[in-house]
Amino acid sequence: MSMPTDPQNIAERLIVLRAREGDDAAMRVLISRYERRLWFFTRRIVNDDHRAWDIVQEVWIDVFRKLGGLKSPEAFRVWLYQIAHARAVSTVRRERRQESAVATHAKELGDQISDDAGRIDEFLSADRAAEVRAALDHLPEDQRLVLTLRFLEDLPLEEIADALQVPVGTVKSRLFYGKQTLKRLLENAHHGE
């Protein structure tokens, strides 16, 4: 990875170096800079506000424990999103296994299980932002994550590929199809008004 020349990237690299050396103030700066962004990213995966916050807290615990092993401070952002992605996907998989076990058990007992989990109140103030976020929720997860990282987090394609651990070509494909699907969803929402 090349050395950052942008003053903002250099400043962040210095903050990461300070945090890696145990500087609590530097760690607080990183948390304040990324916490909300991580929440938004993980929220797109787990589709639940509270679980997303729980995952973000777990991510920061991981970062606190593992930051000393980060060899390249300029890779912090990608590394952070890799941790968040792994935590969120692991949570979703674990919950799906648990839901499957519960469903199987309920079927055996003849129980009816209500499926009201997953309904989430959106509390966004801007109408257009609410439409876009609602449309994002209807995208396939792989497209939703790429669009979130590209347009909301402004990550370059290579960093998205690193964070999601997929080839850059896959990121480009998901970005292309995600934008098409998002545009179609938004157009349909306007026509349905």
Least confident piece of the model among 18-22, 36-40, 93-97, 172-176: 93-97
Both 96 and 157 in one domain: the answer is no
- Among 102-106, 120-124, 128-132, 171-175, name the most confident range: 171-175
99 with 39, same domain? yes
Q: Tell me the HSE value of 77 on the side-chain side, using a 13 A CA sphere.
A: 20
Tens of pLDDT, residue by residue over 68-118, are: 888 899 999 999 999 999 999 988 888 777 666 555 544 443 333 233 223
pLDDT at position 138: 84
Q: Which of 86, 115, 144 is the last residue of a domain?
A: 115
The pLDDT value recorded for residue 125 is: 33
> Do 42 and 15 fall within a single domain?
yes
Boundaries of domain holding 173: 122-193
Question: pTM of the prediction?
Answer: 0.60
Tell me: do 96 and 184 sit in the same domain: no
**Which CATH number fits the domain that encloses residue 150?**
1.10.10.10
Output the average pLDDT for the chain.
Answer: 79
CA distances from 11 to 18, 81, 160 (A): 11, 19, 21
Domain boundary among 93, 115, 137: 115
* Residues 144, 179 contacting (CB under 8 angstroms): no
pLDDT, greater one: 131 or 101: 131
Is the same domain home to 62 and 152? no
The enclosing H or E element of 114 equals none
**Residues 98 and 165 grouped into a single domain:** no
Say whether both 148 and 166 belong to one domain.
Answer: yes
First to last CA, the chain: 48
